[in-house]
Amino acid sequence: MRFEFYRLRFHFQARESLYFPPGKSANILRGAFGLIFRQIACIPACRGASGCEIRASCPYARVFEPQAAAGCGPSGLADWPRPFVFRAAHLDGRVIPPGESFHFDLHLFDLREPPLAYFVLAFTELVREGLGPRRGRAELVAVDQLDLAGTPSSLSGQGVLPAPPCAFELAGGSTNVDRVTIRFVTPTELKSGQQIASRPEFPVLFARLRDRLSTLRALYGPGPLEIDFRSMAERAASVRMTRCELRHREVERRSSRTGQSHPISGFVGEARYEGSLDEFLPYLHAGKWTGVGRQTVWGKGEIEVL
């Protein structure tokens, strides 16, 4: 049983000065993509994806504002997770002067209809629309498909993926790993029951990773995880957190559509776990690419496995 996704890198050259506020780079890219994508895909009279009469066939609604149709998707999930995340934390707080090159990564989880062409088309428009609070213009110069090691394959044409998706085997091997450290790179929030967990205890972290991977596979891939959820959860409960060095980071985003501000805060730092970890390691490694917890499409929940 595997988890698969496409890893893309978008290369740009700044035409004007661009600024990426701290903690907001991925959300700025998400917002720019959504705004331009809607202009490209939707008719001028459209009042929004939620009330759109043709949302079932609308590419914008399917990619950027996906919702469950009757009888489709996991039970009880009204709003589907978006089939993508941006990775741009290295741009946080940076000013990109005119003429300088920069890049960000995009992880696509839709294996059935990979919407790469829409991303290429939308980000091509940044040379006219601009990006970030200063609306600096930038030119898209190349898009690469990367493997897990970061080796690139250049796209031969708009929307054409030259290589198979990256793949993770989720069945743990016999590596006898009994200690792992997780770095929470961007603000992370994990739900436990109906509450936000104050600490990323391993059973909660694993449960949120497991559920995210299973949901993404169910909606955009070959189907939900075929595992014994209860027994794995019981074994995850035996893994202990032995070090927790976290701090809370306050970040706010402002919606360009509504003008309202929303918190995208959470904890960052490192936590160490000890116990029988072999079967859980593939889920942790996959979580590096998917993110974990709430609001991953806004750039939250990026983790690294040390």
pLDDT tens digits along 275-297: 999 999 999 999 999 999 999 99
The confidence band for 71, taking pLDDT boundaries of 50, 70 and 90, is very low
In the chain, where do the E strands start and end?
2-14, 18-19, 84-87, 95-96, 101-108, 138-146, 152-154, 166-169, 179-188, 191-192, 195-196, 240-249, 252-254, 261-263, 266-274, 303-305
Percentage of the chain modeled with pLDDT above 70? 92
Please list the residues that pair with 236 across neighbouring strands. none
Q: In the CATH hierarchy, which fold is given to the domain comprising 171-305?
A: Alpha-Beta Plaits (3.30.70)
Mean pLDDT, rounded, for 107-119: 93
- pLDDT greater at residue 98 or residue 251: 98
Q: Is the pLDDT of residue 70 over 50?
A: no
Mean pLDDT, rounded, for 253-271: 78
Q: Is the pLDDT of residue 78 over 70?
A: no
Q: Of 2-16, 36-50, 250-264, 267-281, which range is least confident?
A: 250-264
Domain residue ranges of the chain, discontinuous segments joined by +:
2-167, 171-305
Q: Is the pLDDT of residue 53 over 80?
A: no
The confidence band for 249, taking pLDDT boundaries of 50, 70 and 90, is very high
Q: Is the pLDDT of residue 82 over 80?
A: yes
For residue 128 the two structure tokens come to 């006219």
Tokens 């934390």 correspond to what residue?
89
Return d(Cα 138, Cα 17) in angstroms, integer.
Answer: 9
